[in-house]
Amino acid sequence: MTAITEFSIAVQKRVGRQRLLKAFKVLLGSVPFIFLIILWELNTQFVWFDPIEIPPLSDVWGAIFFLQSDCPGFVAAMQQHNDCNLTNNIMSSLGRVILAGVVGIPLGIAFGILAGMNRTISGYLEPVGIFMNSVSGIAWIPLAIVWFGVGWETTLFIMLNTIFWLIFFNTMMGVRAVPKVLVQGVQTLGGSYYDTIKHVYLPGAMPSVITGMRMSLGFGWRALIAAEMIGGDSGLGFMIFVSAVEFKTEEVFLGVILISLIYLISDRYMLVPLEKWTIERWGLVWKPT
């Protein structure tokens, strides 16, 4: 017993308590996934479901190589060579997410700040914002197809429309919640109107802006997949749809897993660090320990 305790203390000293706790958290989080994978493998063994309904894990893995089989190599994949089926679809979805984010997020923040600070502007924009937000991103797909036809314009429009209104609304609410005394403090230090935006409203609205980004990523990604299925000619959503029609279930599984992975990675490696760097460091949110 004491040997075990001593060992664990030694390990803690060596690796560091924080790191160990983090590793433990990752381990906890992967338990459900491991459980699912075991079930999945058992299904392959005992064939509770037909392989056409739930294909074996190895087939899903194999689909990666099948889809990329004609791809001449890594460089060609990066250059979106015609035969690099899988990477092309991934990049096409990712590209639109990034483009929509790069355009939609700053635009939403800018209008959100203006509307949050100015009663007249928010008087104009709030009703239309509520109206646009109440119609879910997906509901626009038929109309967007009529306007832009099947293709990347439609999917980009759906993304932008979803992201912009979410960011706009959250930023506006965040700006309104900034204590007036902080603004007055900067004004009495000689700050201009522009200074109050830069030094008070923008950082003060940050918790809401990040919430807006997180919602945008979730809703936007989903809307994009749906748009690609119905009104797109490329992307992971398009791939899933085509594969399902052709009963290539392993490709459908692969697509779904990739979509979730990309979402998970962008949340962990973009939003979480942003959160740590801003609102957690400033003590604006409750920090779990």
Residues that bind other proteins (CB under 8 A): 179, 181-182, 184-192, 195, 199-200, 203-204, 206, 278, 281-284
- The two tokens of residue 11 are 């390990």
Closest to other proteins by CB, 56 or 185 = 185
Q: Rank residues 48 and 282 by Cβ distance to other proteins and give the closer one.
A: 282
Distance of CA 78 to CAs 82, 168, 212, Å? 11, 34, 31
For the bound state, the minimum distance from the C-beta of residue 210 to other proteins, rounded and expressed in Å, comes to 13
CB-nearer residue toward other proteins: 14 or 180: 180
User: At a CB cut-off of 8 Å and minimum separation 6, what does 48 contact?
Assistant: 42
Q: Please state, in angstroms and rounded to a whole number, the distance separating the CA atoms of residues 271 and 211.
A: 9
Minimum distance, C-beta of residue 176 to other proteins, in the bound complex (Å) = 17
Residue 151 dihedral angles phi and psi, to the nearest 5°: 150, -170
Residue 268 CB, nearest distance to other proteins (Å)? Answer: 24
In angstroms, what CA-CA distances link 201 with 99, 112, 169, 186, 273?
Answer: 26, 10, 14, 11, 21
Shortest separation between residue 51's beta carbon and other proteins, angstroms: 55
Q: Specify the residue, 28 or 181, whose C-beta has the smaller distance to other proteins.
A: 181
185, 122 in Cβ contact below 8 A? no
Q: How far is the CB of 127 from other proteins (least distance, A)?
A: 22
What dihedral do alpha carbons 99, 100, 101, 102 form, nearest 10°?
Answer: 50
Q: Is 205 exposed, middle or buried (0-12, 13-18, 19+ CB in 10 A)?
A: buried
Of 207 and 231, which has the nearer Cβ to other proteins?
Answer: 207
Q: Which two tokens stand for residue 148?
A: 């832009």
Closest approach, Cβ 178 to other proteins, in A, equals: 10
Task: Give min distance, CB of 285 to other proteins, in A.
Answer: 10
Are 125 and 168 in contact by the 8 Å Cβ rule? The answer is yes
CB 117 within 8 A of CB 195: no
Name residue, tokens 């590209």: 95
Q: Are 159 and 223 in contact (CB under 8 A)?
A: yes
Q: Which is nearer to other proteins, 69 or 184 (CB)?
A: 184
187 vs 266, beta carbon nearer other proteins? 187
